[in-house]
Chains A and B, each alone.
Chain A
Amino acid sequence: MAGLKEYLIRRAITFIPTIIGVTLIVFIIANIIPADPARAWAGGERARPEIVARIRKQYHLDDPWYIQYIFVMKGIISYFTSPTHEGAIVNPLTSRYIFDDIFLRFPTTFQLALFAEIFILTIGIPLGLISALKRNSWIDTFVRFFALTGTSMPIFWFGYIMMWIFFTNLRWTSLAGVPLPRCYEHGTCPVTTHIPIFDALIAGEFDIVMQIIRRFWLPGFVLGFRAAGVLARIVRNSFLDALSSDFIEFAKAKGLPKRWIWKHALKNAFVPVITVIGLQFGSLLGGAVITETVFGLPGLGRYTVNAINYLNMPAVIGATLLFAFIYMVVNLVVDIVYSAIDPRIRY
Protein backbone atom coordinates (compact mmCIF):
# COMPACT_ATOMS: atom_id res chain seq x y z
CA MET A 1 0.00 0.00 0.00
CA ALA A 2 2.65 2.48 -0.98
CA GLY A 3 1.43 6.03 -1.18
CA LEU A 4 -1.51 5.59 1.16
CA LYS A 5 0.36 7.17 4.04
CA GLU A 6 1.40 10.22 2.01
CA TYR A 7 -2.13 10.58 0.73
CA LEU A 8 -3.53 10.49 4.26
CA ILE A 9 -1.08 13.13 5.45
CA ARG A 10 -1.94 15.38 2.51
CA ARG A 11 -5.64 14.88 3.14
CA ALA A 12 -5.21 15.68 6.83
CA ILE A 13 -3.39 18.92 6.01
CA THR A 14 -6.26 20.20 3.85
CA PHE A 15 -8.48 19.49 6.85
CA ILE A 16 -6.89 22.35 8.82
CA PRO A 17 -7.79 25.40 6.67
CA THR A 18 -11.31 24.05 6.28
CA ILE A 19 -11.82 23.70 10.00
CA ILE A 20 -10.52 27.23 10.59
CA GLY A 21 -12.91 28.44 7.89
CA VAL A 22 -15.73 26.55 9.58
CA THR A 23 -15.07 28.23 12.92
CA LEU A 24 -14.99 31.62 11.18
CA ILE A 25 -18.38 31.04 9.53
CA VAL A 26 -19.87 29.89 12.82
CA PHE A 27 -18.44 32.96 14.48
CA ILE A 28 -19.92 35.26 11.81
CA ILE A 29 -23.32 33.64 12.36
CA ALA A 30 -23.10 34.30 16.07
CA ASN A 31 -22.24 37.94 15.41
CA ILE A 32 -25.01 38.73 12.93
CA ILE A 33 -27.50 39.30 15.72
CA PRO A 34 -27.57 43.03 16.48
CA ALA A 35 -29.73 42.61 19.56
CA ASP A 36 -27.84 42.69 22.82
CA PRO A 37 -27.61 39.05 23.85
CA ALA A 38 -26.26 39.96 27.28
CA ARG A 39 -29.61 41.43 28.31
CA ALA A 40 -31.47 38.33 27.14
CA TRP A 41 -29.00 36.08 28.97
CA ALA A 42 -29.29 38.11 32.17
CA GLY A 43 -33.05 37.59 32.21
CA GLY A 44 -34.61 40.02 29.75
CA GLU A 45 -35.87 43.55 30.18
CA ARG A 46 -35.79 43.61 33.96
CA ALA A 47 -32.20 42.42 34.21
CA ARG A 48 -30.01 44.31 36.64
CA PRO A 49 -27.54 46.55 34.77
CA GLU A 50 -24.53 45.36 36.77
CA ILE A 51 -25.25 41.74 35.83
CA VAL A 52 -25.60 42.71 32.18
CA ALA A 53 -22.30 44.58 32.43
CA ARG A 54 -20.62 41.58 34.05
CA ILE A 55 -21.85 39.25 31.29
CA ARG A 56 -20.71 41.71 28.63
CA LYS A 57 -17.27 41.70 30.20
CA GLN A 58 -17.20 37.94 30.74
CA TYR A 59 -18.03 37.20 27.08
CA HIS A 60 -15.95 40.11 25.70
CA LEU A 61 -19.04 41.50 23.98
CA ASP A 62 -17.62 45.04 23.89
CA ASP A 63 -14.29 43.99 22.42
CA PRO A 64 -13.46 43.94 18.70
CA TRP A 65 -14.48 40.84 16.79
CA TYR A 66 -11.04 39.18 16.65
CA ILE A 67 -10.70 39.28 20.42
CA GLN A 68 -14.15 37.72 20.71
CA TYR A 69 -13.13 35.10 18.17
CA ILE A 70 -9.97 34.23 20.07
CA PHE A 71 -11.94 34.13 23.31
CA VAL A 72 -14.49 31.71 21.87
CA MET A 73 -11.87 29.48 20.25
CA LYS A 74 -9.84 29.38 23.45
CA GLY A 75 -13.00 28.50 25.32
CA ILE A 76 -13.63 25.59 22.98
CA ILE A 77 -10.08 24.28 22.86
CA SER A 78 -9.49 24.52 26.59
CA TYR A 79 -12.51 22.30 27.27
CA PHE A 80 -10.72 19.49 25.50
CA THR A 81 -7.15 20.21 26.56
CA SER A 82 -7.53 21.01 30.22
CA PRO A 83 -8.70 18.14 32.45
CA THR A 84 -10.53 20.53 34.79
CA HIS A 85 -12.05 22.42 31.85
CA GLU A 86 -10.30 25.55 33.11
CA GLY A 87 -11.40 28.56 31.03
CA ALA A 88 -13.82 26.53 28.91
CA ILE A 89 -16.79 28.34 27.44
CA VAL A 90 -19.87 28.37 29.64
CA ASN A 91 -23.54 28.41 28.77
CA PRO A 92 -24.71 31.90 29.85
CA LEU A 93 -28.18 30.63 30.73
CA THR A 94 -27.33 27.61 32.85
CA SER A 95 -23.68 28.33 33.80
CA ARG A 96 -22.77 24.81 32.70
CA TYR A 97 -19.99 24.07 30.25
CA ILE A 98 -21.36 24.19 26.69
CA PHE A 99 -19.76 20.91 25.76
CA ASP A 100 -21.06 19.22 28.90
CA ASP A 101 -24.56 20.02 27.62
CA ILE A 102 -23.71 19.00 24.10
CA PHE A 103 -22.18 15.66 25.03
CA LEU A 104 -25.19 14.93 27.18
CA ARG A 105 -27.38 15.17 24.06
CA PHE A 106 -24.99 13.69 21.58
CA PRO A 107 -25.71 9.97 22.33
CA THR A 108 -29.37 10.45 21.41
CA THR A 109 -28.49 11.91 18.02
CA PHE A 110 -25.83 9.24 17.55
CA GLN A 111 -28.32 6.44 18.22
CA LEU A 112 -30.82 8.05 15.86
CA ALA A 113 -28.21 8.28 13.11
CA LEU A 114 -27.08 4.72 13.85
CA PHE A 115 -30.59 3.31 13.41
CA ALA A 116 -31.09 5.40 10.28
CA GLU A 117 -27.81 4.19 8.81
CA ILE A 118 -28.72 0.56 9.57
CA PHE A 119 -31.99 1.01 7.69
CA ILE A 120 -30.27 2.80 4.80
CA LEU A 121 -27.72 0.04 4.31
CA THR A 122 -29.98 -2.96 4.89
CA ILE A 123 -32.70 -1.59 2.61
CA GLY A 124 -30.68 0.37 0.06
CA ILE A 125 -27.94 -2.08 -0.89
CA PRO A 126 -29.97 -5.32 -1.32
CA LEU A 127 -32.77 -3.48 -3.10
CA GLY A 128 -30.27 -1.86 -5.46
CA LEU A 129 -28.60 -5.16 -6.27
CA ILE A 130 -31.91 -6.93 -6.88
CA SER A 131 -33.14 -4.17 -9.14
CA ALA A 132 -29.90 -4.27 -11.12
CA LEU A 133 -30.20 -8.02 -11.61
CA LYS A 134 -33.89 -7.85 -12.50
CA ARG A 135 -33.51 -4.81 -14.69
CA ASN A 136 -36.74 -3.31 -16.07
CA SER A 137 -38.85 -5.70 -14.01
CA TRP A 138 -41.56 -4.63 -11.58
CA ILE A 139 -39.05 -4.51 -8.75
CA ASP A 140 -36.85 -2.12 -10.73
CA THR A 141 -39.84 0.16 -11.31
CA PHE A 142 -40.70 -0.11 -7.64
CA VAL A 143 -37.21 0.96 -6.60
CA ARG A 144 -37.36 3.93 -8.92
CA PHE A 145 -40.74 4.89 -7.48
CA PHE A 146 -39.42 4.37 -3.93
CA ALA A 147 -36.44 6.65 -4.54
CA LEU A 148 -38.64 9.31 -6.10
CA THR A 149 -41.23 9.37 -3.32
CA GLY A 150 -38.49 9.22 -0.71
CA THR A 151 -36.76 12.32 -2.03
CA SER A 152 -40.06 14.15 -2.50
CA MET A 153 -41.56 13.67 0.95
CA PRO A 154 -41.14 16.29 3.65
CA ILE A 155 -39.50 14.34 6.44
CA PHE A 156 -41.86 15.75 9.09
CA TRP A 157 -44.92 14.74 7.09
CA PHE A 158 -43.67 11.19 6.64
CA GLY A 159 -42.76 11.15 10.33
CA TYR A 160 -46.26 12.07 11.47
CA ILE A 161 -47.87 9.55 9.12
CA MET A 162 -45.60 6.77 10.39
CA MET A 163 -46.24 7.87 13.96
CA TRP A 164 -49.95 7.62 13.37
CA ILE A 165 -49.61 4.10 11.98
CA PHE A 166 -47.05 2.63 14.37
CA PHE A 167 -47.74 4.56 17.54
CA THR A 168 -51.37 5.66 17.58
CA ASN A 169 -52.74 2.49 16.01
CA LEU A 170 -50.28 -0.35 16.41
CA ARG A 171 -48.33 0.76 19.50
CA TRP A 172 -45.17 -0.79 18.10
CA THR A 173 -43.08 2.07 19.38
CA SER A 174 -42.89 4.37 22.35
CA LEU A 175 -42.53 8.12 22.30
CA ALA A 176 -41.67 9.04 25.87
CA GLY A 177 -38.21 9.57 27.34
CA VAL A 178 -34.94 8.00 26.33
CA PRO A 179 -34.16 4.65 27.99
CA LEU A 180 -30.78 4.46 29.72
CA PRO A 181 -29.01 1.38 31.02
CA ARG A 182 -29.43 0.81 34.77
CA CYS A 183 -25.69 0.57 35.29
CA TYR A 184 -25.40 4.35 34.65
CA GLU A 185 -27.17 5.01 37.95
CA HIS A 186 -25.21 2.52 39.99
CA GLY A 187 -21.94 3.20 38.21
CA THR A 188 -21.45 -0.51 37.59
CA CYS A 189 -20.97 -0.45 33.81
CA PRO A 190 -18.05 -2.70 32.87
CA VAL A 191 -17.04 -0.41 30.00
CA THR A 192 -18.50 3.03 29.34
CA THR A 193 -18.84 4.07 25.70
CA HIS A 194 -21.40 6.78 26.60
CA ILE A 195 -23.70 5.35 23.95
CA PRO A 196 -26.62 3.81 25.90
CA ILE A 197 -27.39 0.97 23.52
CA PHE A 198 -23.77 -0.24 23.47
CA ASP A 199 -23.41 0.10 27.22
CA ALA A 200 -26.65 -1.80 27.81
CA LEU A 201 -25.48 -4.53 25.46
CA ILE A 202 -22.12 -4.82 27.19
CA ALA A 203 -23.72 -4.83 30.63
CA GLY A 204 -26.13 -7.52 29.47
CA GLU A 205 -29.28 -5.49 30.16
CA PHE A 206 -31.20 -6.80 27.20
CA ASP A 207 -34.56 -5.44 28.34
CA ILE A 208 -33.05 -1.94 28.12
CA VAL A 209 -31.67 -2.74 24.68
CA MET A 210 -35.17 -3.73 23.59
CA GLN A 211 -36.57 -0.51 25.05
CA ILE A 212 -34.00 1.54 23.16
CA ILE A 213 -34.82 -0.27 19.94
CA ARG A 214 -38.52 0.29 20.58
CA ARG A 215 -37.92 4.00 21.06
CA PHE A 216 -35.50 4.55 18.19
CA TRP A 217 -36.46 2.25 15.34
CA LEU A 218 -39.24 4.42 13.97
CA PRO A 219 -37.40 7.77 14.00
CA GLY A 220 -34.43 5.95 12.49
CA PHE A 221 -36.59 4.49 9.76
CA VAL A 222 -38.18 7.87 8.98
CA LEU A 223 -34.78 9.53 8.86
CA GLY A 224 -33.23 6.81 6.72
CA PHE A 225 -36.12 6.27 4.31
CA ARG A 226 -35.15 9.03 1.90
CA ALA A 227 -31.50 8.05 1.73
CA ALA A 228 -32.32 4.34 1.37
CA GLY A 229 -34.23 4.89 -1.87
CA VAL A 230 -31.53 7.08 -3.33
CA LEU A 231 -28.84 4.62 -2.30
CA ALA A 232 -30.74 1.76 -3.96
CA ARG A 233 -30.76 3.68 -7.23
CA ILE A 234 -27.05 4.47 -6.97
CA VAL A 235 -26.17 0.85 -6.15
CA ARG A 236 -28.25 -0.30 -9.11
CA ASN A 237 -26.64 2.09 -11.58
CA SER A 238 -23.07 1.58 -10.48
CA PHE A 239 -23.51 -2.20 -10.34
CA LEU A 240 -24.91 -2.17 -13.89
CA ASP A 241 -22.01 0.04 -15.01
CA ALA A 242 -19.52 -2.35 -13.43
CA LEU A 243 -21.21 -5.42 -14.95
CA SER A 244 -21.01 -3.95 -18.45
CA SER A 245 -17.37 -2.88 -18.18
CA ASP A 246 -14.58 -4.40 -20.23
CA PHE A 247 -12.84 -6.31 -17.46
CA ILE A 248 -16.06 -8.17 -16.64
CA GLU A 249 -16.52 -9.06 -20.32
CA PHE A 250 -12.97 -10.29 -20.28
CA ALA A 251 -13.54 -12.31 -17.11
CA LYS A 252 -16.62 -13.87 -18.67
CA ALA A 253 -14.75 -14.69 -21.85
CA LYS A 254 -12.03 -16.27 -19.77
CA GLY A 255 -14.69 -18.49 -18.27
CA LEU A 256 -14.41 -17.35 -14.68
CA PRO A 257 -17.11 -18.76 -12.43
CA LYS A 258 -20.09 -16.48 -11.80
CA ARG A 259 -19.17 -16.03 -8.14
CA TRP A 260 -15.84 -14.47 -9.13
CA ILE A 261 -17.36 -12.19 -11.72
CA TRP A 262 -19.76 -10.97 -9.06
CA LYS A 263 -16.97 -10.33 -6.64
CA HIS A 264 -15.09 -8.19 -9.14
CA ALA A 265 -18.18 -6.28 -10.20
CA LEU A 266 -19.27 -5.65 -6.60
CA LYS A 267 -15.89 -4.34 -5.57
CA ASN A 268 -15.86 -1.83 -8.39
CA ALA A 269 -19.51 -0.90 -7.93
CA PHE A 270 -18.94 0.07 -4.32
CA VAL A 271 -16.50 2.88 -4.99
CA PRO A 272 -19.21 5.42 -5.95
CA VAL A 273 -21.58 3.92 -3.39
CA ILE A 274 -19.23 4.73 -0.51
CA THR A 275 -18.94 8.36 -1.63
CA VAL A 276 -22.70 8.66 -1.74
CA ILE A 277 -23.06 7.22 1.74
CA GLY A 278 -20.60 9.85 2.99
CA LEU A 279 -22.32 12.71 1.22
CA GLN A 280 -25.74 11.56 2.40
CA PHE A 281 -24.55 11.74 5.97
CA GLY A 282 -24.79 15.53 5.79
CA SER A 283 -28.48 15.48 4.94
CA LEU A 284 -28.90 12.78 7.57
CA LEU A 285 -27.59 15.14 10.25
CA GLY A 286 -29.82 17.93 8.94
CA GLY A 287 -32.82 15.63 8.83
CA ALA A 288 -32.03 14.52 12.38
CA VAL A 289 -32.99 18.00 13.61
CA ILE A 290 -36.47 17.65 12.10
CA THR A 291 -36.86 14.01 13.12
CA GLU A 292 -35.91 14.80 16.71
CA THR A 293 -38.53 17.55 16.72
CA VAL A 294 -41.24 15.24 15.38
CA PHE A 295 -40.49 12.38 17.76
CA GLY A 296 -39.58 14.49 20.78
CA LEU A 297 -36.05 13.14 21.08
CA PRO A 298 -33.81 15.34 23.25
CA GLY A 299 -30.85 15.24 20.87
CA LEU A 300 -28.33 17.69 19.54
CA GLY A 301 -30.71 19.02 16.89
CA ARG A 302 -33.37 19.96 19.43
CA TYR A 303 -30.65 21.53 21.55
CA THR A 304 -29.48 23.69 18.64
CA VAL A 305 -32.99 24.86 17.79
CA ASN A 306 -33.69 25.69 21.44
CA ALA A 307 -30.38 27.52 21.75
CA ILE A 308 -31.28 29.60 18.71
CA ASN A 309 -34.65 30.50 20.19
CA TYR A 310 -32.94 31.78 23.36
CA LEU A 311 -30.21 33.66 21.42
CA ASN A 312 -27.78 31.41 23.27
CA MET A 313 -24.93 32.02 20.86
CA PRO A 314 -22.15 30.12 22.68
CA ALA A 315 -24.36 27.02 22.57
CA VAL A 316 -25.17 27.57 18.89
CA ILE A 317 -21.47 27.91 18.11
CA GLY A 318 -20.63 24.72 19.98
CA ALA A 319 -23.43 22.64 18.48
CA THR A 320 -22.96 23.85 14.90
CA LEU A 321 -19.23 23.23 15.16
CA LEU A 322 -19.82 19.72 16.40
CA PHE A 323 -22.22 19.01 13.52
CA ALA A 324 -19.70 20.30 10.99
CA PHE A 325 -16.92 18.37 12.69
CA ILE A 326 -18.86 15.08 12.60
CA TYR A 327 -19.66 15.58 8.93
CA MET A 328 -16.05 16.40 8.11
CA VAL A 329 -14.75 13.36 9.98
CA VAL A 330 -17.24 11.10 8.19
CA ASN A 331 -16.08 12.47 4.85
CA LEU A 332 -12.47 12.01 5.86
CA VAL A 333 -13.16 8.38 6.74
CA VAL A 334 -14.99 7.95 3.43
CA ASP A 335 -11.99 9.36 1.58
CA ILE A 336 -9.68 6.97 3.40
CA VAL A 337 -11.85 3.93 2.65
CA TYR A 338 -12.18 5.16 -0.90
CA SER A 339 -8.45 5.40 -1.41
CA ALA A 340 -7.95 2.01 0.21
CA ILE A 341 -10.39 0.41 -2.25
CA ASP A 342 -9.27 2.33 -5.30
CA PRO A 343 -5.53 3.11 -5.38
CA ARG A 344 -6.00 5.37 -8.43
CA ILE A 345 -7.56 8.01 -6.18
CA ARG A 346 -4.29 8.80 -4.42
CA TYR A 347 -2.95 11.30 -6.88
Chain B
Amino acid sequence: MNVRPINILLVEDNEDHVMLTVRALKENGLANRIDVVKNGEEALDYIYNRGEFLDKDKYPLPELMLLDIKLPKIDGLEILDIVKNDDDLKSLPVIMLTTSENEKDIIKAYSTGANSYITKPVSFNKFMEKLVDLNFYWVVTNTLPGHAGG
Protein backbone atom coordinates (compact mmCIF):
# COMPACT_ATOMS: atom_id res chain seq x y z
CA MET B 1 0.00 0.00 0.00
CA ASN B 2 1.15 3.43 -0.82
CA VAL B 3 1.51 5.39 2.38
CA ARG B 4 3.17 8.61 3.31
CA PRO B 5 5.07 8.58 6.59
CA ILE B 6 3.78 11.15 9.07
CA ASN B 7 4.67 12.57 12.48
CA ILE B 8 2.92 10.73 15.24
CA LEU B 9 2.56 11.36 18.96
CA LEU B 10 1.92 8.12 20.83
CA VAL B 11 0.41 8.52 24.30
CA GLU B 12 0.84 5.13 25.98
CA ASP B 13 1.88 4.08 29.48
CA ASN B 14 2.52 0.41 28.83
CA GLU B 15 6.18 0.10 27.91
CA ASP B 16 5.73 -3.16 26.07
CA HIS B 17 2.98 -1.70 23.96
CA VAL B 18 5.14 1.35 23.27
CA MET B 19 8.02 -0.80 22.10
CA LEU B 20 5.85 -3.00 19.92
CA THR B 21 3.84 -0.13 18.48
CA VAL B 22 6.89 1.94 17.63
CA ARG B 23 8.57 -1.00 16.00
CA ALA B 24 5.51 -1.90 14.00
CA LEU B 25 4.91 1.68 12.88
CA LYS B 26 8.49 1.94 11.66
CA GLU B 27 8.52 -1.44 10.01
CA ASN B 28 5.43 -0.60 8.08
CA GLY B 29 6.83 2.74 7.08
CA LEU B 30 3.93 4.56 8.60
CA ALA B 31 5.80 7.00 10.75
CA ASN B 32 8.25 9.64 9.81
CA ARG B 33 8.81 10.50 13.41
CA ILE B 34 7.29 9.01 16.55
CA ASP B 35 7.37 10.74 19.88
CA VAL B 36 6.14 8.90 22.93
CA VAL B 37 4.75 10.27 26.17
CA LYS B 38 3.76 8.08 29.12
CA ASN B 39 0.84 9.88 30.67
CA GLY B 40 -1.88 12.46 30.14
CA GLU B 41 -0.02 15.31 31.75
CA GLU B 42 2.98 14.86 29.49
CA ALA B 43 0.69 14.59 26.47
CA LEU B 44 -0.81 18.00 27.25
CA ASP B 45 2.65 19.46 27.92
CA TYR B 46 3.75 18.16 24.53
CA ILE B 47 0.94 19.59 22.44
CA TYR B 48 0.94 22.88 24.32
CA ASN B 49 4.75 23.08 24.30
CA ARG B 50 5.04 23.33 28.04
CA GLY B 51 7.61 22.00 30.54
CA GLU B 52 10.26 19.88 28.89
CA PHE B 53 8.50 20.26 25.52
CA LEU B 54 8.83 24.07 25.52
CA ASP B 55 10.77 24.19 22.27
CA LYS B 56 8.24 24.58 19.47
CA ASP B 57 10.71 23.70 16.74
CA LYS B 58 11.86 20.59 18.49
CA TYR B 59 8.34 19.51 19.36
CA PRO B 60 6.02 20.64 16.58
CA LEU B 61 2.37 19.71 16.60
CA PRO B 62 2.12 16.09 15.43
CA GLU B 63 0.08 15.11 12.42
CA LEU B 64 -1.64 12.32 14.29
CA MET B 65 -2.13 11.44 17.93
CA LEU B 66 -2.51 7.81 19.02
CA LEU B 67 -4.11 8.11 22.42
CA ASP B 68 -4.56 5.27 24.88
CA ILE B 69 -7.78 5.58 26.88
CA LYS B 70 -6.52 4.27 30.18
CA LEU B 71 -3.71 6.52 31.32
CA PRO B 72 -2.29 7.57 34.66
CA LYS B 73 -3.03 11.10 35.98
CA ILE B 74 -5.25 12.42 33.19
CA ASP B 75 -7.04 9.75 31.19
CA GLY B 76 -7.33 9.62 27.42
CA LEU B 77 -10.94 10.76 27.22
CA GLU B 78 -10.12 13.91 29.21
CA ILE B 79 -7.24 14.74 26.89
CA LEU B 80 -9.47 14.15 23.91
CA ASP B 81 -12.00 16.53 25.44
CA ILE B 82 -9.36 19.22 25.89
CA VAL B 83 -7.99 18.81 22.37
CA LYS B 84 -11.37 18.82 20.67
CA ASN B 85 -12.51 21.91 22.58
CA ASP B 86 -9.44 23.91 21.66
CA ASP B 87 -9.93 25.83 18.42
CA ASP B 88 -6.22 25.61 17.61
CA LEU B 89 -6.04 21.87 18.20
CA LYS B 90 -9.34 20.42 17.26
CA SER B 91 -8.30 19.62 13.69
CA LEU B 92 -5.53 17.34 15.01
CA PRO B 93 -6.65 13.80 14.17
CA VAL B 94 -6.87 11.61 17.26
CA ILE B 95 -7.14 7.84 17.18
CA MET B 96 -8.18 6.33 20.48
CA LEU B 97 -6.51 3.08 21.49
CA THR B 98 -7.80 0.66 24.03
CA THR B 99 -7.45 -2.93 25.05
CA SER B 100 -11.03 -3.32 26.22
CA GLU B 101 -14.27 -3.06 24.34
CA ASN B 102 -16.31 -0.83 26.54
CA GLU B 103 -19.37 0.45 24.80
CA LYS B 104 -19.61 3.48 27.06
CA ASP B 105 -16.03 4.46 26.25
CA ILE B 106 -16.60 4.06 22.53
CA ILE B 107 -19.70 6.22 22.59
CA LYS B 108 -17.99 8.80 24.80
CA ALA B 109 -14.94 8.90 22.54
CA TYR B 110 -16.90 9.43 19.35
CA SER B 111 -19.25 11.99 20.91
CA THR B 112 -16.20 13.92 22.16
CA GLY B 113 -14.83 14.01 18.64
CA ALA B 114 -12.38 11.12 18.29
CA ASN B 115 -11.51 10.58 14.63
CA SER B 116 -11.24 6.86 15.07
CA TYR B 117 -11.24 4.18 17.69
CA ILE B 118 -9.18 1.00 17.68
CA THR B 119 -9.52 -1.90 20.05
CA LYS B 120 -6.06 -3.41 20.12
CA PRO B 121 -6.26 -6.93 18.77
CA VAL B 122 -3.82 -9.33 20.38
CA SER B 123 -1.95 -9.55 17.13
CA PHE B 124 0.16 -6.51 16.34
CA ASN B 125 0.09 -7.46 12.69
CA LYS B 126 -3.66 -6.99 12.76
CA PHE B 127 -3.23 -3.75 14.64
CA MET B 128 -0.91 -2.47 11.96
CA GLU B 129 -3.32 -3.49 9.24
CA LYS B 130 -5.90 -1.32 10.90
CA LEU B 131 -3.47 1.57 11.19
CA VAL B 132 -2.36 1.22 7.58
CA ASP B 133 -6.00 1.37 6.55
CA LEU B 134 -6.42 4.50 8.60
CA ASN B 135 -3.28 6.13 7.28
CA PHE B 136 -4.35 5.39 3.77
CA TYR B 137 -7.64 6.98 4.51
CA TRP B 138 -6.10 10.13 5.99
CA VAL B 139 -3.61 10.62 3.19
CA VAL B 140 -5.91 9.89 0.30
CA THR B 141 -9.16 11.41 1.36
CA ASN B 142 -8.09 14.08 3.83
CA THR B 143 -5.43 16.65 3.78
CA LEU B 144 -3.73 16.39 7.10
CA PRO B 145 -3.88 19.70 8.98
CA GLY B 146 -0.12 20.11 9.10
CA HIS B 147 -0.03 20.16 5.30
CA ALA B 148 -3.12 22.18 4.70
CA GLY B 149 -2.55 24.61 1.92
CA GLY B 150 1.14 23.69 1.80
Q: Do A and B bind each other?
A: no
A residues near B, CB below 8 A? none
